[in-house]
Amino acid sequence: MLKRQHILFLFFLIALCPFSSCKTKRQKTLYHYDQTYNYKEVVGSTDFPHKYPEPHVWALYPHGIEGLSTFMQSQMRYPKAALKDSIQGSVLLRFVVESDGRISSPEVIESSNELFEQEAIRLLLESAPWVPATVNRKGVRTLYEVPVYFVL
């Protein structure tokens, strides 16, 4: 029970960072409304050369962050090698929430251990469709980042 509370707290804390008052350089760049950004220009990544509008309403997993955390905890299959060696870690995933709520183009941004990467992507792809971000009440594609924590 204590382990789940730690996971929920860490997930909730990290997931809400973009909405907090402490904005990084990247967040300041991305938080100008009614503009369209080329992700390559903003972050320097060549993996996402698509244009993503700044949403008026952000994409959200059904039942919010708690719902995503609950889903991931209940469906997580801890890698056997990591379990055997008592390894804990986290994976930061970047993906696109499509205008219909589907998840596409998942990629690992940071990982504390390669053992966790495939499981984190599997969990994300098996999650329920998201509520898409909107601009002028129309669903739009948006980039999203989610940390996944593996704690024994």
Compute the distance between CA of residue 14 and CA of residue 10 in angstroms, rounded to an integer.
6
Q: Which residues, other chains included, contact 93 with Cβ-Cβ below 8 Å and sequence gap of 6+?
A: 106, 107, 108, 109, 120, 121, 124, 145, 146, 147, 148
The predicted model scores a pTM of 0.65
pLDDT tens for each residue of 16-72: 444 444 433 333 333 333 333 333 333 334 444 456 657 788 899 999 989 999 999
Question: What domain count does the chain have?
Answer: 1
Domain that holds residue 128: 2-150
Kindly report, residue by residue over 80-116, the tens digit of the pLDDT. 999 999 999 999 999 999 999 999 999 999 999 998 9
